Structure formats: structure tokens, C-alpha cells
Chains A and B, each alone.
Chain A
Amino acid sequence: MWDYTQNVMDHFMNPRNVGFIEDADGVGEVGSLACGDALTLTFRLDGQGRIADVKFKTFGCASAVASSSVLTEMVRGMTLEEAAKITNQDIVSRLGGLPDQKMHCSVMGQEALEAAINDYYKRKKGMAPTQPRGNIVCTCFGVTDLEIKKVVHENDLTTVEEVTNYCKAGGGCGGCHGRIAELIEEVQGEKVRTEAEKKPIRPVRLTNIQKIQLVQQTINEQIRPALRADGGDIELIDVEGNTVLVALRGMCAQCRLAEFTMKDVVQARLREFVSDDLIVEEQKDTPGASEA
């Protein structure tokens, strides 16, 4: 049995805004009977361009109904620009979480909203949908490469299984698993590149205070997360001229590779982000302290 949150069960048992607006400004339809879930979302705007009324009809399980219901509550009163920013993660957090295998229900909600907004622009403004749909990757469930890249990007997915949970792609015959893995690589690769580009431009001259701040920032953002992933930690003790004094904590403190960590991770990173002439030294705990 699924472990649904109280919020999911509430929205399932007492769904809000069920129905179909006949003279709607935007209509979004996603999913199909064959896929096992489908959602029709309709909205009407008021004079200020805000969503005055929104209704849904959903064929699907409890999490599909709850995702649709909570979404209608979220978008009411929003402008279309605001509504377009809603991600499937926003829907999931409003519900207090969804089981992993049910994430695709929240994605379906987000897609129906997007489709309804596109429909509005197309019908009222004569504009084509803002985004192309992409090429079908998963033929069993009709999921495109753009849709897969979107869920991978917005939910930071790293495995094919996760992608299947979020958008169903790969959940049928499995023939597209290779292509999905490629798409994950593409998106995650881009992410790494963008983050790398974000690295601070090193100032030419630093005051001592600036240098200490930059060292601390680099340790916080660039070094500590990597060490913590292995159960370790690092602490800045002091900066004297070009010598940075740090102490390794947790797993790192007993690690046989500590020397390697100091030189090839800590010093390399600090040199990269702060200054080429930095020397990192480790402050060892006094023997008395470690025996205590």
C-alpha cells in the first residue's frame, strides 16, 4: 500500500475545483486512457489577466487527482507569467511529498498547466506554443527528449529509474533506456559546465580581510561539500600571509589519504579560487587532546 501524506489523501477524498469551464480562456489536456492517467485543465482570466477560475478533471490514481486538485488551488489568482513558473517540485512540496513511483503525477499536473497556458497564447494572441515538443524517445508512453530533459533538469535526476518515476519514459519495453541515459548525461554535463563557469573571477589584489573571507567562502562552497560527502569536514584555523592553516575533522582526520586530500583538494582549490601562491598546512590536534 502506498504511504500517502494526509494532504494527498485530503485532496483525493475532497478534490477542489472539479469540472470543466465551458468558455475557458485556456484548455490543457495531457495523458491518455491507455497511459493510465490523463488530466484536463481549464482556466478563465479576469480583467487584470489573473486566473479567476480554474477547474480540472483527472483520470488516475490518488496522487494524480491530488496533484491536479492542489495545482488548481496554487494557480488561482496568479498571472500567467507567475503560473508558468510553477514546477512539478512545487506541486510535490505543497502535497507534503509523493512516493517516488508517483512523481510522474506531479509532472502531469505541471504539463497540463503549461499546455493550458500555451493554448491561451495560441488562441487569444495567435501565437504558436512557446516551446517545441521535441522528438519522441519513449514510444510506449509517448515521452519526448525535451520532456525528459526538463524533468532531469528540474528534479536533478541522475538515473534512468528516476526518470521513469518522474515522467514514465522507459517504463514500458525498456528499449529507450540507452537514449534516456544519454539525455541524463547531456543535462547533467551542461549543469557541471554552467557551475564551473560561475566560479568567481579572482581579484588581482586582496586585502588581508578580503583574502580571509575568500578563503572561507571557497572552503564553504567548494571544499566542504566534497569532504562531507565522504563523512569528513574541514575547519579554517588561521591565515597568516600566504599560509592557510586548516584542520581536518570527522572521517578525514583519520583518513590515510589525508595528505593527498590536503594537497590535491584543499590546496588546489584554494589556489584556483583565491591565489596561486597559497600554501595550505594542516594543524594536527595535540597528542593530549586526541587521547582524551
Chain B
Amino acid sequence: MDSVIYMDNNATTRVADEVVQEMLPYLTEKYGNPSSMHTFGGQVGKKIAEARQRVATLLGCHPEEILFTSCGTESDNTAIKGTLASYPNKRKVVTTRVEHPAVLTTCRDLERHGYSISEIGVDRAGRLDLDELGFRLDDNTAIASVMWANNETGTIFPIDQIAEIVKGRGIVFHTDAVQAVGKIPLNLRESHIDLLSLAGHKLHAPKGVGVLYVRKGTRLSTFMHGGHQEGGKRGGTENVPGIIALGKACELAQQHLEEENTRVRALRDRLQKKILAGCPDCMINGDTRDRLPNTLNVSFEYIEGEAILLMLNKFGICASSGSACTSGALEPSHVLRAMGVPFTAAHGSIRFSLSRYNTQEEVDFVADKLPGVVHRLRELSPFVAT
């Protein structure tokens, strides 16, 4: 493949060059353990403190509220299970039907262990039913976990409002903000969020590092026991290069936040406009008013997502699909099904997710190639008269 046009940034992102430069010395000469008593290790500890500050600046919180983990999934598991362990008399979790599997599978596993789980539904645009949420919260509820932005459709939930509802009932509130951080502005100091998960590799840091934000005063049982690292809340020698990389990535995200919401958004909108104009019988999935600036989820009727992806792949275009076939599952995306997207359209859904590394030429190239791919597959489809 000559060149790659990468539009799958909600899956993972390119590690920024500045991030690689920042972490490189900690893979080579500065390999000390931050817990050591000597200066050689101590200098690493200082760098971790700097990274913690950088993450806190992006989130708008105190550095002591940042807990480094190995990934978004670990952060989600720690938040939910750690909270349940702190409130042994409460046996219920409230969440949504469109969460990432990191939350949903965790909750369904808890259900097998005797916990009660309430999954709130969404409407056709993927918007949450806030009345149902209020209705489901009760005295038995230990924690409510609602994602900030949906990974498949980009739909943004009114998280500050939700946090207020949940906190008003005296319940711990967690949000999986893996897709939101770096794409939309957030300020935790002014919110009621208790716990927030983020993953480094979604914002141009490498894979293998994540964060759990824990608001001061939040009760949270230790999930990973071990040494005194992370204030004893998460044992295990720090992923030093990863943490330093994430710190730099957060600093860069802060700098690029405006670009993300102007230039990247304009690119996404351009792609959307061109696709809708160039391909008949397609539709946008998700809330087009409240949506991540980089995400475009579009369904092509009568054709199947995996086939579209493989044809795009021939042009070096990387995207993803909510079709059943791509995952090896037999049913299409749980998010699109929760939204009530017809199966016919869910099987033909494609997600393009952009980043600041995408260009207008790339957008135009994709918009140019797509109608041909769609037309070719429709010629094969028994549901299209030719």
C-alpha cells in the first residue's frame, strides 16, 4: 500500500512526533525507577509529576486527582468495581445501552454476580432519556456511569446536566470520556463528575496508558493492590514513558483544541456534505447537533459494511463499520440497535473519524472514491434493481 488515509481515529491515533520525542529519553538513558532514593530515579519522578500536572491542566482539575492506569478499560473497571466495593450496602449500577464494552461488559458481569444493572435507552438520534435516568436512580444505586461521547456515532451527552442529576441523588457519578478528551473542552472543577476515564492512545499518545480522574473526597476502594505508587490507589511500577507521553499529548491537545473544533470539524462537515451529495440512499447516524467534531457515521442502504471497508482498503482508506460481519458477531452494532437504526442500515454503517493530521485533499479523495465503491456493491446487491 503506497499511502494510508487514516480516518479511524476513534479506534486509535497516530502518536504525535512531539510525544515520541518527549518519551524517548525515558526508554533509553533515563530508565530509573521513580520510587528510587537516588537522583537517577528521582529525576523520573519529577517528570511524572510534570505529566500529572499537564493532564490536570487539560481536564481542569488538581494533579492529585489524576490516577495513572494502563488503559481506558482499566479506568472504567476501577471506577465501577472500586465504587461498589466502597458502598457494600448498595447493589445497583445505572448506565446506558450505548456504552463502550469496557463499561457494558463489566456491568453485565456484575449482574451475574448479583448486582442489579439499569441500562438507560436512547432515541433515534442517540440522545439519552434523562427522565428515565432520573427514574432509575434509587437508594440502592451506588454509581451511575454514562459516557461523555459515543465512540461510534460521536453523539455527545449533556454530561454536566447528567452529573448534576446523579449527584443530586447522592450517587457517585462516573463518565467514560475516552472519546471526548482532546476533542471538546472540559472543565472538571466546575462539574459534578466524581470519576472520569481517559485513554492515551485516543489523543496521540501511545497505547498502554490511561487515566482515572478521582475527585478529592470520593470513596474508591483500591482495585490493583501493590506498592505505594499512585498514592497507594494503584500499585505497580509506573509506565514511565507512557505517562510522560500522555502528559505531552495532553499539552498538545490543549493547544489543538480550537483547531479540532474549527478546521477538523470543517473537514468532517465537508466529507459529510460530499458523501450525502454523491451517494444516493445514505443517512447520517447520531445527533448531528451535538456531535464530536471529528466523527461521521453514515449508513449506506442495501450494502454491507465489511464489503465497503475492504473496497476502501484497496485505496488505502482506513475506516470502520458497525456491521455484524466486521466483528465476527452476527448482529450489528449494539449502539445503532439501541438507537433503533433499522438492521438494513446498521449493516451498512461506516464510521469515519478524523484527526488534526487529516487534510482537505484526503477528504476529497475519500469523497471521490466512495460513490464508485457504493455503486459497485449495489450492483451486486439483490435489493437494488439494476
Closest to B331 in A: A172
Q: How far is the CB of A7 from chain B (nearest CB, A)?
A: 15
* Residues of A participating in the B interface, judged by any CB pair closer than 8 Å: 2, 9, 12-13, 15, 18, 20, 29, 33-40, 57-62, 64-65, 99, 101-102, 140-141, 164, 168, 171-172
B324 at the interface (CB under 8 A from A): yes
Q: A34-B343, A58-B381, A64-B325 are in contact. List 7 more A-B contacts (CB 8 A).
A: A18-B379, A36-B330, A37-B325, A38-B383, A57-B381, A61-B307, A168-B330
A residues less than 8 Å from B306 (CB atoms): 2, 61-62
Point out which of A34, A37, A61, A64 has the most chain B C-beta atoms below 10 A from its C-beta.
A61
Cross-chain contact B382 with A40 (CB below 8 angstroms): yes
Assembled-state Cα–Cα distance A61/B99 (Å): 26
In the assembled complex, 19 residue pairs joining A and B whose CB atoms fall closer than 8 Å, in A order, are: A9-B310, A12-B310, A33-B343, A33-B344, A33-B383, A36-B323, A36-B324, A36-B325, A38-B382, A40-B382, A57-B380, A58-B382, A59-B381, A65-B307, A65-B380, A99-B328, A102-B325, A171-B330, A172-B330
Q: Is the interface on chain B under 10, 10 to 19, 20 to 34, or 35 or more residues?
A: 20 to 34
Assembled-state Cα–Cα distance A18/B377 (Å): 11
Assembled-state Cα–Cα distance A36/B321 (Å): 13
Cross-chain contact A36 with B310 (CB below 8 angstroms): no
Cross-chain contact B382 with A36 (CB below 8 angstroms): no
B residues less than 8 Å from A99 (CB atoms): 328
Cross-chain contact A171 with B329 (CB below 8 angstroms): yes
Assembled-state Cα–Cα distance A62/B23 (Å): 41
B304 at the interface (CB under 8 A from A): yes
Q: How far is the CB of B215 from chain A (nearest CB, A)?
A: 39
Cross-chain contact A59 with B302 (CB below 8 angstroms): yes
* Residues of B participating in the A interface, judged by any CB pair closer than 8 Å: 302-304, 306-307, 310-311, 314, 323-326, 328-332, 343-344, 347, 379-383
Assembled-state Cα–Cα distance A64/B381 (Å): 11
Known A-B contacts A57-B382, A59-B302; the reply to A164 vs B330 at CB < 8 A is yes
Cross-chain contact B343 with A36 (CB below 8 angstroms): yes
Q: How far is the CB of B30 from chain A (nearest CB, A)?
A: 37
Known A-B contacts A36-B324, A40-B382; the reply to A59 vs B329 at CB < 8 A is no
Assembled-state Cα–Cα distance A58/B323 (Å): 16
A residues less than 8 Å from B323 (CB atoms): 36, 61
Cross-chain contact B379 with A62 (CB below 8 angstroms): no
A residues less than 8 Å from B343 (CB atoms): 33-36
Assembled-state Cα–Cα distance A18/B375 (Å): 14
